[in-house]
Structure 1
Amino acid sequence: MIDKLWYKRSGINWLLAPFAALFALLTFLRRLAYQKGLLSSYRASVPVIVVGNITVGGNGKTPMVLWLVELLTQAGYKPGVVSRGYGGKAPHYPYLLHPETTTAEAGDEPVLIYQRSGCPVAVAPKRALAVQLLVEQCHVNVIVCDDGLQHYALQRDIELVVMDGERRLGNGWLMPMGPLRESASRLQQVMAVICNGGQARPDEVQMSLEPSPLCNVKTHHTALISGAVDAMAGIGYPPRFFNSLLLQGYALNQQVAYADHQVFDATELQKRFSQRPLIMTEKDAVKCRSFALDNWWYQPVTAKLPEKFANRLLAQLKELKYGTGL
C-alpha cells in the first residue's frame, strides 16, 4: 500500500495533503531554529561527515559508510562511526561497541559496521555524546555519522546523500503523502548525491554494490551453492536484494521480505527455512548468528565509487581546519 502511494504518482492520496503541508512547515521551522541558534547544536573537535538520505527506507547508506571508513583509513585517518543505534537498547548511552555487543543492545547496522570494519563505533540517541566518547576514549580524528542528515543537533562539515537509483524520490512529496523527509531542494546543499544503482544523473556520483562470495552465517566460511535456494531480507527495500540474487543466477524458491530492523523469531525462521539453503543479507546475519542453521548463508556487498570522487572528498576534508593532526 505504501509503495503504491509513495512510488507511483497515480497512487497519491490527496487527503494526506494537509498533513504533508504541516510536516513541511514543522521541518522548515525546526531547521531554521538550528540555523538561527534558537536550538543548540554541537560542534565536534574533529571533522564530521554525515551519510544520510532525504527519503524513508533503505538506500544503501551502510555500504557507503563502510566504503568511507576504508577510504579514510587508507588515507591515514583514524575514523570512528556514530549512530543512533535504531532497534537496540544499550545498557547506557553513549555506548561503545565491543566484540560481544549484540544487535539487541546496539542495533543491526552499528554491529554490522563494527564487525566488518573493525573501527570504533558508538551509539546514542544524542549523537553528540557518541562523538565525544569516540574522540576522548578512542582518539579518532574524523567522525562518520551513519544516517542523521536531519539530526541538526550535530553540526557537520561534509554531507553525503545516498539515493536509490531506481526508486529515486518516489512521487516527490513529503511525508505522509510521499517518502521525502525533506524537500528535494535539500539535495542542492550537500557535497554529493550518491546514486546507488540505476543510472546516475550528470550531477550525481554513481555507486554500485559488488557482491562477494556467500559466507556461512555460523562459521563465516565461503562456498559456492547451486540448485534451489530460499532468500530473506529484513532491509529497507528487500526487492533490491532478491533481484541481485536473481541476476547472479540463483533459483529462488522463497523470497521472504521482513520489516527493516525487525527482531527475528528464531523458531519461526528455523521452521520456515530448514529445507533448502537460505541466503540473507549481512545485516540480517548479525541478528541470526546465535540460532542459525548449518545451511544458512549471507552475501556481503562492497560499495564501488569512482576514484575521482574519492580524491575530491579527501581534498575537501584536508582543507578543513582542525589542527595539525589532520
Structure 2
Amino acid sequence: MGLEQAWYRNSRWLKLLRPLETLFCAIARRRRKAFQKGRRASWTAPVPVVVVGNISVGGTGKSPLVLFLIEQLRQRGYKPGVISRGYRAAPPTTPYFVTAASTSVEAGDEPLMIVRRTGVPLVISPDRVAAAKLLLEQTACDLIISDDGLQHYALNRSVEIAVIDGVRGFGNGRCLPEGPLREPVARLDEVDLIVVNGASPEQWLQNSYLEKSFTMTLQPGELVRLGDDKHVAADEWSESRQVNAVAAIGNPKRFSATLEALDFSVTFNSFPDHHAYVEKDFNFQQDGPLIMTEKDAVKCDHIALHNTWYLQVNAVLEQGFAIQLEALLNDLAPSVNATE
C-alpha cells in the first residue's frame, strides 16, 4: 500500500512516523512565526493578493477555482493576473511569463492550461514575490491571484481561500509524513473563505467554519477536439460512446466518474498527477475516440494523436461566495475602484 492510500485509510502503521510529524509541525510553526514577527522578511504588493491554496497535499480543485475567480473578477471590472510556482516546470529563466505558445515542460501543466483557457497574464516562479513583482512591472493587472502558495509566507496576502477535497477530506487528520496535511486543520481558523469541492461543508467542517464555507461543484462543459479546436456539447456527441480515456490529476477517479455520468462507456488509464505523457501511454487495446482532461491536453502538443478530445470543466459555487469575496476586497482595498 502506498503512503497516500495509507493516509486515507488511516493505517495503523503510520503512527511509526509520529516523531517525524512532530518535527515537521515544529519547523513549520517556527517558520511561520518568524514571518509573523518580522524575523523573516515579507513583501506587500500594492494591489490586492488573493491566495488560493490548501492545507493538504495532492489535488483539491484549485485550478478550476482559479479559472472561476478570473472570470468573476473580470466581470467586476478587475484586471487580474496570476502567479504560480509552476510545479515541475523547467522554464528558461525565472521568473517566467507563460504564454499560449509555451510548452508544458517550460510552464507546467496547470499554468499553461489557465493561460490557454483565459489569456490571463501569468508568471511562474518558486519565489512568489519575484513572480508578483514581474507581473506588476510588465502588466496593468490590479489584482493578483496566487495559484497555491497558502504556505508561502514571504508574500503577504489580502484574502486567503482554502480548498478542500470533498471526497477525501483531511485523511487521518495528521500532518506530513504521518498524514496528508501541510498544516493542522486549525489553520482554517485564519483563512477568509473555505471552498469544499464536491461535498457540503458540514461533511468535513465544524460549525465555527460554516459561515465562511461554500460548496463548489465541477460541471462538465464542452468537449474540444485537439488539432482544430472543434467544440461539441456532450449531448450532441456523434462519435462512438465507447471511448478511451486518460487522466493524470490528483483524483483521476473523479474524471472517469464524470465521463460515465455523461453516458460514455470508458476504458480508463490513470497516471500520477502531473505525469509527462509519451506516445506509448496511449496504446489502448480497443479503437475509439480518446478523451482526456484539459490539464492533460496541454501536455500532448508533441504527440500525434487521432480523434482526441479534452473535456472542459467549470467550477460552480454558491452565490454567497462571490458576494463575500467582493465584500472582503472592498473592505481591504477601498481605493481600488473595480467598476472603472
TM-score between the two structures when normalised by the length of structure 1:
0.95
Q: What is the CA distance between 1:250 and its match in structure 2?
A: 1.2
Q: What is the CA distance between 1:103 and its match in structure 2?
A: 0.9
Q: Is the 8 A contact 2:240 2:289 kept in 1?
A: no
Q: What is the CA distance between 1:296 and its match in structure 2?
A: 1.2
After TM superposition, the structure 1 = structure 2 runs for residues 119-158 of structure 1, keeping only pairs within 5 Å, are 119-158=120-159
Percent of matched pairs sharing the same residue: 43
In structure 2, the CA distance between the partners of 1:270 and 1:245, relative to structure 1 (3 Å rule), is: closer
2:170 match: secondary structure: coil
Residue 218 (structure 2) pairs with residue 217 (structure 1): no
Q: Deviations over 1:1-49 (max 9, x none)?
A: 2243111124552111111111111111111111111111111111000
Structure 1: how far apart are the matches of 2:73 and 2:333? 17
Letter in 2 for 1:316: L
Q: Which residue of structure 2 lines up, in the alignment, with residue 196 of structure 1?
A: 197
Task: State which drifts further: 141-150 or 211-220.
Answer: 211-220
After TM superposition, the structure 1 = structure 2 runs for residues 172-211 of structure 1, keeping only pairs within 5 Å, are 172-201=173-202, 203=210, 204-211=213-220
In structure 2, the CA distance between the partners of 1:138 and 1:77, relative to structure 1 (3 Å rule), is: same
Structure 2: how far apart are the matches of 1:44 and 1:315? 19
Q: Which residue of structure 1 lines up, in the alignment, with residue 275 of structure 2?
A: 262
Q: Is the 8 A contact 1:34 1:153 kept in 2?
A: yes
- Aligned partner (choices 238, 246, 264) of residue 250 of structure 1: 264
Q: Deviations over 1:44-102 (max 9, x none)?
A: 11100000000010000000000001111000000000001112111111111223111
Residue 309 (structure 2) pairs with residue 297 (structure 1): yes
Q: Is the 8 A contact 2:243 2:290 kept in 1?
A: yes
1:24 match: secondary structure: helix
In structure 2, the CA distance between the partners of 1:264 and 1:325, relative to structure 1 (3 Å rule), is: same
Q: Deviations over 1:216-260 (max 9, x none)?
A: 12222124143311111111111111111122221112x211111
Q: Is the 8 A contact 2:81 2:135 kept in 1?
A: yes
Q: Is the 8 A contact 1:217 1:288 kept in 2?
A: no
Q: Which residue of structure 2 lines up, in the alignment, with residue 57 of structure 1?
A: 58
Q: Which residue of structure 2 lines up, in the alignment, with residue 308 of structure 1?
A: 320
Q: What is the CA distance between 1:288 and its match in structure 2?
A: 0.8
1:288 match: secondary structure: coil
Q: What is the CA distance between 1:213 and its match in structure 2?
A: 2.2
Structure 2: how far apart are the matches of 1:269 and 1:166? 27
Q: Is the 8 A contact 1:47 1:322 kept in 2?
A: no
Q: What is the CA distance between 1:272 and its match in structure 2?
A: 3.8
Structure 2: how far apart are the matches of 1:322 and 1:263? 44
2:299 match: secondary structure: helix
Q: Is the 8 A contact 2:245 2:290 kept in 1?
A: yes
Structure 2: how far apart are the matches of 1:105 and 1:192? 32
Task: State which drifts further: 313-322 or 50-59.
Answer: 313-322
TM-score between the two structures when normalised by the length of structure 2:
0.91
In structure 2, the CA distance between the partners of 1:273 and 1:141, relative to structure 1 (3 Å rule), is: farther
In structure 2, the CA distance between the partners of 1:304 and 1:292, relative to structure 1 (3 Å rule), is: farther
In structure 2, the CA distance between the partners of 1:292 and 1:163, relative to structure 1 (3 Å rule), is: farther
Q: Deviations over 1:193-234 (max 9, x none)?
A: 101002222612010001012111222212414331111111
Structure 2: how far apart are the matches of 1:180 and 1:270? 34
Root mean square deviation of aligned Cα: 1.6
Task: State which drifts further: 284-293 or 189-198.
Answer: 284-293
Q: Is the 8 A contact 1:46 1:322 kept in 2?
A: no
In structure 2, the CA distance between the partners of 1:295 and 1:172, relative to structure 1 (3 Å rule), is: same
Letter in 1 for 2:67: L
Q: What is the CA distance between 1:104 and its match in structure 2?
A: 0.8
Structure 1 unaligned residues grouped into runs of 5+: none
Alignment length (residue pairs): 324
